[in-house]
Amino acid sequence: MKKIFGYLLRVSAVFIFSASVLFAEEDEVKIKILAVNPSDSQQITSTVSQILPAEVKPEDILDNAGMEVKYDVEKKTYYVIKQVELAPQEARTLQVTVRNVWKVPEEELARIREQVEQSIAALKGTKFFESGQLLYEKAVEKLDLIQEEEAKSVGIKQRIELYRAHVRQLEEIQTSTFSLAAMRRLDNEKEEGIRMVKMMVTAENPAEEEREMTMRAQLPKEITADDILDKLDFSLTYDNFKKRYVAEKKDKFAARESKKYEILLKDIWYFPQSQLDFLKLQTEKLLELFAGSSFEAYSKHHGDFIFNSLAEIMVTQAETLDASLEEKIRSYVLNSSRLELIKQKMRELQDLLPEVPLKRKEEEVLSQLKNFVKKLIEQKDLVLVAMGIQPDRPMTWWIIIGIIVFLCALTVIFYMTWLKKLQENKWVKAAPTARKPKGSTT
């Protein structure tokens, strides 16, 4: 019984040891770890450990309170650990001080602003300049907001999450703001309009008295900062563990009051009609190359599958036009699988082109060349007389040979050019050589 009681004491102590409180000053943050022995008669020895925020590195620890700093390989973060002895009912506070690393340096913001300026300047004179100008304005607006939020005085917990959201947004500005995909997406939005979807956030005060409550709504993983059209007066933070943005807000609630909030997002869970039309057109061009070959039936079977799958995607997207966010995401997952199969079928058809269509086209070109030369020889007398040349002279045959050599050279050039163009793949993504295991980093 004593052993069981002692074990329970240790479990209780370890549970309490995991509690920590963050206190922030201008340049440093204090992490207070509370250790308590709940027994009123027994002294215990146990291990205190506390995971540090992901941004903290050993060089950022100003005072480790005599604790050892270790690295957790699975969680990919540092932690502090120490064995302590506690007398009956003793409570002890261990205080670890770390550098306040949750600030975006002004020089970093200035560097990214300069990069944005250079990017838009590089697009001058191109067809993407107009789209790039809109993306540039959005990027500058986002940088201004980040700078404004960095200057706000908030609690350390919110500061950490705000910092993570800012780091994420700055990465998006640098890597995807002026990407070709972003500019094409903007062009699609100009043609088809911006599709929107509402995300409902509900909250209720269960108490019988008025309360101030904090609401946290996790946004879908696929959503970036640019995809949030209207977040009301919610703050945008970032959950580093779940890898998604979080909308957070404080509000006052009367007794038993419930409220609903409507966050407006871009409907990114659909495939633009222009993309589907492009895939259909490319499939039709592929099938033309197989016409008359031994693989015509095989290619038609693949083509029918592609056309039917594209039609199913269009029907599903039309059916979920005004659907809820959850239904749109479910439909998107299904259509993504269909689109992957479509691309796979197109790659299979493309793999056949270097064999069957090349041989057939070569035969067609040679056949046309033979017929042309044959007709030329049959009509040589008429042609040469029209040119003022006597057919019975030896020069006649040299002219004919010269024409044949010229046509042969022209044919070789045509054939090599056609082969090179055929082998280029500008519309189907090449099949990966190996799939990375799930969870691996890129």
Residue at 437 is within a domain: no
Residue at 440 is within a domain: no
Residues 186 and 202 in one domain: no
Residues 219 and 187 in one domain: no
Residues 208 and 293 in one domain: no
Residues 107 and 80 in one domain: no
Residues 66 and 111 in one domain: no
Residue at 183 is within a domain: yes
Domain count, the chain: 5
Residue at 439 is within a domain: no
The parent domain of residue 220 ranges over 198-267
Residue at 290 is within a domain: yes
Residues 113 and 30 in one domain: no
Residues 259 and 281 in one domain: no
Residue at 66 is within a domain: yes
Domain final residue, candidates 322, 352, 382:
352
Instruction: Please give the chain's pLDDT, 442 residues, in tens.
Output: 444 334 333 333 333 344 455 555 568 888 889 888 888 889 888 888 999 998 999 999 999 999 999 999 888 899 999 999 989 888 889 999 999 999 998 899 999 999 989 988 888 888 888 888 888 888 898 899 898 888 888 788 888 888 999 998 998 888 877 777 777 777 777 777 788 899 999 999 999 999 999 889 999 988 988 889 999 989 888 888 888 999 999 899 999 999 999 999 999 898 888 889 999 999 998 888 888 888 888 899 999 999 999 999 999 999 888 888 889 999 999 999 999 999 999 999 888 887 764 444 555 555 655 665 565 555 545 444 444 544 455 555 666 666 777 777 777 776 676 666 655 544 444 444 444 444 444 3
Letter string b/e over residues 378-392, b meaning 16 or more CB atoms within 10 A of that residue's CB: eebeeebeeeeeeee
Residues 347 and 361 in one domain: no
| Whole-number pLDDT of residue 131 | 82
Residues 165 and 213 in one domain: no
Residues 294 and 348 in one domain: yes
| Whole-number pLDDT of residue 27 | 80
Residue at 28 is within a domain: yes
Residue at 40 is within a domain: yes
- Structure-derived torsion over alpha carbons of residues 113, 100, 249, 225, reported in degrees to the nearest 10: 30
Residues 73 and 115 in one domain: no
Q: Are 67 and 80 within 8 A, CB to CB? A: yes
Residues 11 and 85 in one domain: yes
* Residue 28 belongs to domain with CATH number: 2.60.40
Number of C-beta neighbours around residue 331 at 10 A = 18
> What pairing do the DSSP bridges indicate for beta strands 91-99 and 228-230?
unpaired
The 8 Å CB, 24+ separation contacts for 304-308 are 305/341, 305/345, 306/279, 306/280, 306/342, 306/345, 306/346, 307/280, 307/283
Domain final residue, candidates 65, 99, 133:
99
| Whole-number pLDDT of residue 108 | 92
Domain final residue, candidates 165, 193, 221:
193
Q: Is the pTM of this model over 0.85?
A: no
* Distance set, CA 304 to CA 47, 80, 283, 310, 345 (Å): 66, 61, 10, 10, 10
